[in-house]
Amino acid sequence: MSLENIETPAAAPSDFIRDIVAAHVAENKYPRIHTRFPPEPNGYLHIGHAKSICLNFGIAREFGGVCNLRMDDTNPTKEDVEYVESIQEDVNWLISAWADDKLGLKPHGKTPEAVTSNGQPDFYLPAVTGATAGLEPFYASDYFDQIYAYAVALIKKGKAFVCDLTPDETDEYRRQGKASPFRDRSVEENLDLFTRMKNGEFPDGARSLRAKIVVDAPNIWLRDPLIYRIRHAAHHHTGDKWCIYPMYDFAHCLSDYIEGITHSICTLEFEVHRPLYDWILESLGLPRPLPHQYEFARLSLTYTVMSKRKLLQLVNENSVTGWDDPRMPTISGIRRRGVPATALRAFAYNIGITKYNGLTDVAVLEHAIREDLNKRAFRRLAVLRPIKVVITNYPEGQVEELNAVNNPEQPETGTRKLPFSRELFIERDDFAEVPPPKFFRLKPGGEVRLKYAYIIKCEEVVKDAAGNIAELRCTADLDSKTGGATAGRKVKGTIHWVSAPHAVDAEVRLYDRLFTVAEPDTGADFKATLNPHSLEVIHVKCEPSLKDASPAERYQFERLAYFALDKDSAPGKLVFNRTITLKDNWAKEAHKS
């Protein structure tokens, strides 16, 4: 099934950042709009990053601009190529095919300047030199030479000095608003010491380069902040070339400048850094236009932890199977669970962009996933907890191929054949020997319709020696299937089933929320609130067409939930992940224990 079939009408988003961009487009402030998404490769991306990706790439797309993926890799000791690769894969997955999903979004304002030689629209192509096809990341570390030169330029302007205080002393002096005793070194001495820092003459922490701004500014970020530190550590991208590394605040604005970024969008906690961002660019006297920073509220979700440190802890302490465990809020986990990129993008657009931090109900995400999957998923029959049914008046050895629609939301996806025979499986929960009031499924002496097939009546409950139900002996109204004389006869319940001799076996992983409380992040021990029922593995019976299940498809096991094939599947071994239940019955499930 292709995305073209899916109509997801959604208004083009509007928010205060897009309003600013639209005004800039209207006044022709920049040749073109240029954003960036700058993760530090020190962990896997999570759904909060997805919000930022959709914002930055979305703005580029809507305003005919460009968005760069940039590895903000200035801290060698915490970073790794594994993370670089996962980030690249995740961003690609989230934004690829965006052009042809029907979110109702068309670029407005300027049209994209060009389509590149390989036919890709340029909104996700690198804009600086050496552009390659597809989403290739930029690296802040590729600019280390230029950033170093800018540091030297600041020193020459008398706006930076080498400081010999230890990191702890520096913190303390800054807290107290006290001048460093090294603040008034001469330009010559600063240049000499900075060169020697670069040449590796001093150990880690012995010296640093600090901007010379205001020692007791009300905004602590302006109190002569560190801009370079010594780190004798190999870097995943630059190897052993450097033993000094620029601090985030220094590298970030300059990387933005070097790439020609116009709108540098980040989360609210960086608002207090903005004066420093501007100070660095202004102090260097760089040619205009300069990039400008804008801040928005980060995403926080109920029942979810989002800090990279805590996610890393879950991985390292084996609370989950890895970064891409389908219970993780990482993009790779969400993808593996079976959530389509279109659903994540719709979620990111639905929640909007604001200036105020708040908590988003995870049910909003789940709603976006259900909406998307409802349109996309093939309907299939599968019985999770089987109980045998024998239709005593159905001839032994007879098999009928019944027609069943693939997806009522998309009739053009056609029908499939569903074999029916004398022996079936139905869901254990769909039978009650002693039915509670208003139980409309199967009960002794009662009738129920088998979806796409006959009305059956339970005549006898057969038990084994231990008193467990071994099988249900039923009769079918053989005129009640589609086209039959009694097809229109109404019974209260309809249940799903599979033909026993035709059923294929599958492992099903029933995933649920990872935490039992709405705000797991606030407690001292967040792991104490892990949901002990976040995964249940069962072995199920599926209709035979699922033998050919594809990882590219999504499936609704009727009356149950949405499922996707897991990467642990192999020829002859089906493994399905439950992406999400059909209804939000979480509160009920949470009290099951």
Residue 112 amino acid letter = P
Q: Cβ closer to ligand ATP: 99 or 359? A: 359
Strands (DSSP E) contained in 168-274 are: 208-211, 226-230, 244-246, 263-267
Give the binding site for ligand ATP (CB under 6 A). Answer: 38-40, 42, 48-49, 51-52, 266-267, 298-299, 306, 308
Q: Is 472 exposed, middle or buried (0-12, 13-18, 19+ CB in 10 A)?
A: buried
Smallest CA-to-CA distance from 265 within 330, 353, 348 is with: 353
Q: Cβ closer to ligand ATP: 273 or 481? A: 273
Q: How far is the CB of 12 from ligand ATP (least distance, A)?
A: 20
Determine contact, residues 489/455, Cβ cutoff 8 Å: yes
Catalytically annotated residue among 32, 51, 198, 308: 308
Q: Report the alpha-carbon distance of residue 495 to residue 106 in Å, rounded.
A: 43
Q: How far is the CB of 213 from ligand ATP (least distance, A)?
A: 23
For the question of residue 40 being annotated catalytic, the response is yes
Q: Cβ closer to ligand ATP: 42 or 238? A: 42
Q: Cβ closer to ligand ATP: 42 or 494? A: 42
What residue number has its CB nearest to ligand ATP? Answer: 48
Catalytically annotated residue among 40, 136, 271, 471: 40
Catalytically annotated residue among 298, 385, 451, 559: 298
Q: How far is the CB of 37 from ligand ATP (least distance, A)?
A: 6
Q: Report the alpha-carbon distance of residue 320 to residue 315 in Å, rounded.
A: 6
Q: How far is the CB of 92 from ligand ATP (least distance, A)?
A: 16
Q: Report the alpha-carbon distance of residue 49 to residue 137 in Å, rounded.
A: 16
In the sheet that holds 561-565, the strands lie side by side as 378-380, 555-557, 561-565, 575-581, 504-511, 535-542, 382-383
Count of C-beta atoms within a 10 Å radius of residue 104: 12
Q: Which residues pair with 420 in a beta bridge?
A: 400
Name all contacts of 229-232 with Cβ < 8 Å and 24+ positions apart: 229/167, 229/204, 229/205, 230/197, 230/202, 230/203, 230/204, 230/205, 230/206, 231/75, 231/76, 231/77, 231/204, 232/200, 232/203, 232/204
**Residues 52, 57, 60, CA angle at the centre, nearest 5°?**
130
Quickly list DSSP for 93-136.
Answer: HHHTTGGGS-SS----SSPPS-B-TTS-BGGGS--SSS--SS-P
Determine contact, residues 450/400, Cβ cutoff 8 Å: no
Q: Cβ closer to ligand ATP: 159 or 298? A: 298
Q: Report the alpha-carbon distance of residue 431 to residue 434 in Å, rounded.
A: 9
Determine contact, residues 511/566, Cβ cutoff 8 Å: no
For the question of residue 298 being annotated catalytic, the response is yes
Q: How far is the CB of 212 from ligand ATP (least distance, A)?
A: 27
Q: How far is the CB of 35 from ligand ATP (least distance, A)?
A: 10
Q: How far is the CB of 52 from ligand ATP (least distance, A)?
A: 4
CA distances from 432 to 386, 427, 446, 459, 466 (A): 14, 11, 10, 13, 18
Q: Cβ closer to ligand ATP: 307 or 403? A: 307
Q: How far is the CB of 406 from ligand ATP (least distance, A)?
A: 37
* Helix (H) and strand (E) counts in the chain: 13, 25
Residues taking part in catalysis: 40, 298, 308
